[in-house]
Amino acid sequence: MSKLQELQNRIGYTFEKEGLLRQALTHSSYANEKHMKKHSDNERLEFLGDAVLEIVSSDFLYRNYPDLPEGDLTKLRASIVCEPTLALCTREMDLGDYLLLGKGENQTGALESVIGAIYLDGGFEPAKKFIHKFILTDIEHKKLFYDSKTILQEVVQGNYKESLHYELISEEGPDHDKQFSVEARIGDKVIGAGTGHTKKAAEQEAAYQALLLLKPKL
């Protein structure tokens, strides 16, 4: 079975035009390295998928959270569609295993590109189904992830004598595609680790992992 076929089985959608899926999985760095023709990469699909994700997530939250005011809905949507949360979803579904990346590039935008490809291939409904299945799940967990730094700060202040701080462990990759590794610590004790495209994203991941560790103990 080809990698493309395997991925289609995993996501539960079969493409009429398989080339769209191949394009969705092709990072611009890979297209440049292989001297592929213009617009062979996934950047335009990411642009489209981003818009589809926004309308589907907005519709979902509007219908499922009828008592939330506009400001809270906006914040909740941001917690779902922000880059670190989508990176978490990408990892959970092992999408990175199928991507065509240049040396040292990361997976940012891949999920939105796949959404854009499904939308172009099959229309709004299958794209919506994909988003509901792989992104609009476990909303409370995603909200915890989005607010993790604030929540962790409150947890540490309320339960520990020593203060919380974040330590940068490593910084790799070219300027346009840095990968930061960060540890969250209480005093000298490491309570969580995270990686990300920015220091802030890495800290967010570290805080989230720390919360998963600490919350059951409180």
Buried b (16+ CB within 10 A) or exposed e, 7-46: bbeebebebeeeebbbbbbbbbbbbeeeeeeeebbbbebb
**Could you confirm whether 50 is annotated as catalytic?**
yes
**Could you confirm whether 171 is annotated as catalytic?**
no
Active-site hit among 112, 121, 183, 205: 112
Cα 93 from Cα 43, distance rounded (Å): 21
Active-site hit among 50, 54, 83, 147: 50
DSSP assignments along the chain, one per residue: --HHHHHHHHHT---SSHHHHHHHTB-HHHHHHTTPPTT-SSHHHHHHHHHHHHHHHHHHHHHH-TT--HHHHHHHHHHHHSHHHHHHHHHHTTGGGG-B--TT---TTHHHHHHHHHHHHH-HHHHHHHHHHHTSS-HHHHHHHHTHHHHHHHHHHHH-SSPEEEEEEEEES-GGG-EEEEEEEETTEEEEEEEESSHHHHHHHHHHHHHHHHGGG-
Residues annotated as part of the active site: 50, 112
